[in-house]
Structure 1
Amino acid sequence: GKSPVRVCQMCFIAKQKEEEKRRAFEQMGDTVTQNQINAFLSEADLEIKQANQEVMDSLLRIYKAKVKPLEQRYRFDYYYSSLNDGDFEPRPIVLLLGQYSVGKTTFIRSLLERDFQGIRIGPEPTTDGFHAITYGPTDRAIPGNAAAVDVNRQFVGLAGFGANFLSRFQVAEVPSPLLDSLTIVDTPGVLSGEKQRLDRGYDFEAVVRWFVERADRILLLFDAHKLDISDEFKRVIMTLKGNDDKVRVVLNKADQVETQQLMRVYGALMWSLGKVFDTPEVCRVYMGSFWDKPIDPRGERFKDLFIKEKEDLIEDLKGLQRHCAIRKVNEMVKRTRLVRAHATMCDDFKQQLPVFGKGGAQKKIAQNISKHLDILVKKQCLSIGDFPQHKQIEGFLSTYKLEEFKDLNQRYIEIINIALSRDIPRMLDTIQKKQQEHDAQDIQDFGNNNPFDEFATPDSVTWVVDAASKQKYDNVFYSLSPQGNPPKVSGGAARPVLLQSGLPVEALRDIWGLVTSEGSVDQDEFALMMFLIQSARQNGVQSLPKELPLAYIPPSKRQQQLQPINDVLSGGSSSSGDMYQPGAQYQQPQGQAPSAPDEGGSGNLYPNPHQ
C-alpha cells in the first residue's frame, strides 16, 4: 500500500494557532464572533483598516517578488533582518524606551486604564523582559516561544535571537479600545551605574534595533528627577539613527517639581538630547504626569498644561492607524533603495578585485570605504544617503567574501526600479484617494448637525444611529438568539458581547441604565447601547450624556409615552407631566437605582463594586 502522507510540522503548528484563535473568541461565550467585536468600530475605522490591509497585501507581494530575491542574493540581512508576513500587519507598533523606574509600565497602564498580564511596577528594575501588549478578546499571556512561531503575528523574526531572549519575551492580549489600532511594546529598563555590567543573556541592543526598524512611534521616557543618560542608554539611542522622525520624548513625573525647577529640568533635557542625537532639530517633548494618580500639589499650577499634553500624546498615538499605510510604504521605499545601493556596491567592488590576492584587495577597499563610495556614487548616479553607514559596510566586507557572490544581473535592478517608479506610486495614489473619501465623509457628517434641532418634533429629529450602523448592530443582535415577541436579548446573553468593547464595567453599567431599566433589551435599545459604547470608546467615558437627548431615543419609543411637542408649540394645553422631556422615558424613579440583568437575565448586570 501507499505510505502515509507526512504533514509538515510548521503547517501543523500554523493549524494549531488558527484553532487557538478560534477558541479564544469563544471563551467569552459561544455567541461572540469576530463580526460582533468589529461592531464596536465605526464604519470609517473599518474602511481605513480594510484599505490599509489591502495596501499591506500589495506591498507584501512587491517585496517578495522584487526586493527579497536581491536581499538574499547579497546578504542584506547583515544590516537589517528579513521581513516576514507578520511584518506587513497594518497595526502600528509603539515602542517605549527609557532607563529603569521612569514609569514606562505605569505609563502604559494609564493609557489602557487597566492592568495587563505580566505587569510589575516598582522603584527598582521590574520589567526584566520585553512585553508586547496587543488587542485580544480576553486577557491572556502568550509566551515568547509560542508567539515567535505564529506566522500571523509580527514577532516571527525574533526567533533569531535565541531561547534566552524568547524566555524573556511575552505577548499580553488585552481587550482595550486603544489597542484596536496599535500594539505597545514595553522594554526592560535601561541600566545605569554598576548595573550596566550585568549580563542580560542576549544582545539587548540588537533586539532594540529590531523593534526600532518596525516601530511606527518610539517614545523615550525620562524621569524629571534623573535626566542623566547612562552609557547603555546612549548606545540604545544610537540605534535610533535613521529613524529620528519616529521619536517622541516624554518627560514623566513633571508635576513633582517646582515651577522654576521644571524650566531648568526641561532645558537640561534638551541639552542632553542635543548632545546624543547630534541634530539641529529637537524632537517633540510631552510633559506631564502619566499615571492614574491625581496631579501632585507642586504641579497644580500646570495642571491644565499637563492634561492638554496627555491629550495631544493620545491623539498622536490614535493618528498612527490613519497614516499607518503611508509610513509602511515609506519604510519600504527606504529599504528598497538601500537594497539597490547595496547590491550595486557589492557587484562594483567585486569587479575591482584582481585575479590573485582578492582577500587583501577587499581589505584595502574596506579601509578606504569613503573614497570608493564617492567614486561609485558618481559612476552609478546614486545617492550617498542610500548606502548603509560606513562602519556597517566595513563590518560587512570583513564578514563576507565578495568573490562568493554571483554577478549582478541588471534585470534585478530594472525590477527594483519598476517597483520604485510604478508599483509603489500607484499604491500611494490609492491611499490618497481613500483618505480624501474619508475626509469628505467627515465633512458631510459634520454638516448634518442641524443647529435648530432643539425646536424639532420627535418625528422630525433624525436618530443618531444611522442606517448602516443599525444594520450592523441588528446582525449582532440576532446572532444572540433573541426570544419573545417583540424579540429581546437578556442581559446574560448580551454581557459577553458588551465586554468585548474593553470599557470598564462601571461604564457599561451606566450605559445599560441609560438605555433601559429592565433586564433585557429589544432590537432598537440594543442598537442604541452599541452606539453609546462606540462613542465612549472614541471620545471617552466622560462624553456619555447624563440623560438621553431626543436624537438618541429610538423613533419607535418616542410616541409611546410622549405627547408631540407640536401641541405645546401650537399653544395646546398640556400638563408638565405630559410635556416631552429629553430622556424622560429612561429616567428612574426618585431614589431608585437602575437595575440590570445578571447572567440569568435578572438583577444587576454590572453590580456596584463598592456595595
Structure 2
Amino acid sequence: MKGIVSICCFFSLLVLALAEEEVADVLSNILRDRSHIDETLRLASEENAAENYHAAIQKLRKIYHSAIKPMEQAYKYNELRAHEISDGEITSKPMVLFLGPWSVGKSSMINYLLGLKDSPYQLYTGAEPTTSEFTVIMHGEKTRSIEGIVMAADSSRSFSPLEKFGQSFLEKLIGIEMPHKLLERVTFVDTPGIIENRKQQERGYPFNDVCQWFIDRADLIFVTFDPTKLDVGLELEMLFRQLKGRESQIRIILNKADNLATQDLMRVYGALFWSLAPLINVTEPPRVYVSSFWPYDYAPDTSRELFKREEISLLEDLNQVIENRMENKIAFIRQHGIRVRIHALLVDRYVQTFKDKMSYFSDPDLVFKEIVDDPDKFFIFKSILAKTNVSKFDLPNREAYQDFFGVNPIGSFKSLSAQCSYSGGCLLDKIEKAITSELPGLLSSINPGKAPPGLSSCEATGCGDKPKNRYRKN
C-alpha cells in the first residue's frame, strides 16, 4: 500500500513539474507591451518639428558649401585629415551603434525597438553567432534590402567612404530600409559579435578599422553584455581602446537580466564592473542599463518594475540624442570649420616663411627642408596661437606637415591674402564669419530663448537685475 502511495505522489509531482514548465513556456512566448516605446520616444509628435529640422539642415548645408568647403579645397585639407564631409553626412540621421560579444541580444534588441518580431525583415537571432555582417537599418519609402556595394556607390548616403575597406568588406555590409516612425529620426547599426577565440584576419577585412569608422560617426554607442559573457579578451580590450574619448556616448547594457534571481543579478552586476574597470579610465563610469531587451515578457518572479524603469531610462536617453540631433550637427560642422581654418592658417604661414627666406641664390629644396624639419625655429605654430578660436590642443601634429608637403609642393598654394575676389570676398573672412556668427546664429534660431548649457535663463539674459557681489558687504 505504501508503495502505491509513493508511486502516486511521484506521478503527482511529475505532473506538477510538467505543468509548471508548460506555464513557463507559455509566459516566455507572451509578447511584451510596446506602447511605452512610442510614448517615451514621442513618435506621434507633430510634423512641424521635422519640417523645421529639414529647413535647418539645408541652411547648415549652405553654410558649409559656401564658407568651409572652398577653404578645404584651396588648401587640400582632406589630404591631411583624410575626412571629407559629404552631403550625405550632413543630412544623415543620428546613428546608434550596437557593439559587444556574440549572442548577447544586440539583434533582438533592435527587433524589439522597431517591432520587427515575426516580420519578414526581422534580424535573425539565435544562441550561436548569427550576425556576420554590418547591418544598417534605416528609413525608406518601402521595405527592401540593399547590398553594401550599392550603399557605398550612392553619394546621397553617408556610407561612400566605406569603399576604402575593400570589396571583401562591402560584401559583409547590408542595408535594410523600411517605413518606420523611429527610423525617420535615427539609424541603427548592428555589428558582428566579438569572438575572442578567432583571429580578426579570418574575417577577410580590417574589422577594427571598420568599427572605428562607425564609432567616429556614432551619436550613441550601446555596448551589450549578458550574464554568461562577462569575460574580457584581447578583442574586447581593443574595442574599448577604440572607444577612448567617446565615453559620453557609451552606454553599457546588461541584457537578459531576467534569467537570474535578484541576488545572482547583483553579483553579476558587480562582476561586470570589475571586468570593465581597467578598460574605462574615467572618473564617472558609463551608465549601465539592466534589463531584458527583447519582444517577450519578463520571466516570472523577477524584478519586473526595475527592468521596466531601466528600459524607459534607456529610451529617454535615446530620445535625448534624437532631440539634440540638430545641435550636434551644427557643433560638428563648426568644429570641422575651426580645424580647416587652423590648417589654412598654418599652410599660409609656411608659404609666407618660405617666401621670406628665399633669395636669388637660395636653394628652394634646402630652404623648405629647413622650415619643415624645424617649424618651431620660425615660430610657425606659435604664431597661429595668437589668432582667435585657436587652441593649442587643436593644432595638428608637426610631423603630419612633413608628409603633407611631401605630396603637395609648397609652390602649389597661394597665401590667404591672395584668396580673395571682388564678387566672392575672401575665403578667410567667410570661414571666420561662419564660425563666429552664422553657425551660432543657426543654433540660436532652432532654440529661441534657450540658455547656453550650464546657465539658467536669467543668468544668460540678466533678467534686468543687477548682479550682486557676494564678497562685498551690503
Query: For residue 98 of structure 2, what is the aligned residue in structure 1?
Result: 96
Q: Distance in 1 between matches of 2:344 and 2:279?
A: 32
| Contact 1:90 1:324 survives alignment (8 Å) | no
- Return the offset for 1:305: 1.0
Q: Distance in 1 between matches of 2:351 and 2:407?
A: 6
Change over 3 Å in CA distance of 1:284–1:396 after alignment to 2 = farther
Q: Distance in 2 between matches of 1:396 and 1:202?
A: 30
Q: Distance in 2 between matches of 1:140 and 1:337?
A: 40
Q: Quick check: 1:152 aligned with 2:159?
A: no
Q: Quick check: 1:428 aligned with 2:435?
A: no
- Which deviations, in whole Å up to 9, do the C-alpha atoms of 1:44-101 show, x marking residues without a partner? 5311111111111111111122222333323335535212222122532211111222
Aligned partner of residue 114 in structure 1, secondary structure? coil
- Which deviations, in whole Å up to 9, do the C-alpha atoms of 1:245-298 show, x marking residues without a partner? 22222121223334344334333433544433422222222111111233345x
| Contact 1:51 1:434 survives alignment (8 Å) | no
Query: For residue 291 of structure 1, what is the aligned residue in structure 2?
Result: 294
Change over 3 Å in CA distance of 1:419–1:358 after alignment to 2 = same
Query: For residue 220 of structure 2, what is the aligned residue in structure 1?
Result: 217
Change over 3 Å in CA distance of 1:161–1:315 after alignment to 2 = same
Q: Which amino acid aligns with 2:326?
A: A
Q: Which amino acid aligns with 1:327?
A: N
| Contact 1:181 1:318 survives alignment (8 Å) | no
Q: Quick check: 1:82 aligned with 2:84?
A: yes
Which of these residues, 255, 258, 263, is aligned with residue 266 of structure 2? Answer: 263
- Which deviations, in whole Å up to 9, do the C-alpha atoms of 1:375-413 show, x marking residues without a partner? 45644462123245x5xx646644652762424415433
Query: For residue 54 of structure 1, what is the aligned residue in structure 2?
Result: 55
Aligned partner of residue 46 in structure 2, secondary structure? helix
Change over 3 Å in CA distance of 1:349–1:282 after alignment to 2 = farther
Aligned partner of residue 343 in structure 1, secondary structure? helix
Q: Distance in 1 between matches of 2:271 and 2:293?
A: 20
Aligned partner of residue 248 in structure 1, secondary structure? strand
Which of these residues, 97, 108, 111, is aligned with residue 110 of structure 2? Answer: 108
Q: Quick check: 1:401 aligned with 2:406?
A: yes
Percent identity of equivalent pairs: 31
- Which deviations, in whole Å up to 9, do the C-alpha atoms of 1:483-523 show, x marking residues without a partner? xxxxxxxxxxxxxxxxxxxxxxxxxxxxxxxxxxxxxxxxx
Q: Distance in 1 between matches of 2:133 and 2:315?
A: 25
Which of these residues, 251, 255, 268, is aligned with residue 252 of structure 1? Answer: 255
Q: Distance in 2 between matches of 1:328 and 1:112?
A: 25
Query: For residue 3 of structure 2, what is the aligned residue in structure 1?
Result: none
Query: For residue 338 of structure 1, what is the aligned residue in structure 2?
Result: 339
| Contact 1:56 1:325 survives alignment (8 Å) | yes
Query: For residue 229 of structure 2, what is the aligned residue in structure 1?
Result: 226
Q: Which amino acid aligns with 2:444?
A: D
Q: Which runs of 5+ in 1 are unaligned?
A: 1-39, 437-611
The two structures, once aligned, show a CA RMSD in angstroms of: 3.4
- Higher-RCO chain (CA-CA 8 Å, sequence separation at least 6): 2
Aligned pair count reads: 388
Worse-superposed segment, 339-348 or 422-431: 339-348
Aligned partner of residue 276 in structure 1, secondary structure? coil
Aligned partner of residue 314 in structure 2, secondary structure? helix
Q: Distance in 2 between matches of 1:99 and 1:66?
A: 44
Q: Quick check: 1:187 aligned with 2:188?
A: no
Instruction: Output aligned runs, 1:204-603, within 5 Å.
Output: 204-297=207-300, 300-348=301-349, 355-357=364-366, 361=370, 364=373, 375=382, 378-380=385-387, 382-387=390-395, 394=399, 397-398=402-403, 401=406, 404-405=409-410, 406-409=413-416, 411-433=426-448
- Return the offset for 1:432: 0.6
- Return the offset for 1:224: 2.7
Aligned partner of residue 199 in structure 1, secondary structure? helix
Change over 3 Å in CA distance of 1:424–1:125 after alignment to 2 = same
Change over 3 Å in CA distance of 1:356–1:198 after alignment to 2 = closer
Q: Distance in 2 between matches of 1:219 and 1:90?
A: 19
- Which deviations, in whole Å up to 9, do the C-alpha atoms of 1:311-342 show, x marking residues without a partner? 22123223433221111111112222222233
TM-score for both structures, normalised by structure 1: 0.57
Q: Distance in 1 between matches of 2:264 and 2:415?
A: 60
Q: Distance in 2 between matches of 1:375 and 1:236?
A: 36
Q: Distance in 1 between matches of 2:72 and 2:233?
A: 35
Q: Distance in 1 between matches of 2:203 and 2:338?
A: 35
Q: Distance in 1 between matches of 2:448 and 2:190?
A: 35
Change over 3 Å in CA distance of 1:92–1:403 after alignment to 2 = closer
- Return the offset for 1:308: 0.9
Q: Distance in 2 between matches of 1:235 and 1:346?
A: 35
Query: For residue 131 of structure 2, what is the aligned residue in structure 1?
Result: 127
Worse-superposed segment, 274-283 or 349-358: 349-358
Q: Distance in 1 between matches of 2:370 and 2:280?
A: 35
Q: Distance in 2 between matches of 1:79 and 1:95?
A: 23
Q: Which amino acid aligns with 2:231?
A: D
Change over 3 Å in CA distance of 1:179–1:63 after alignment to 2 = same
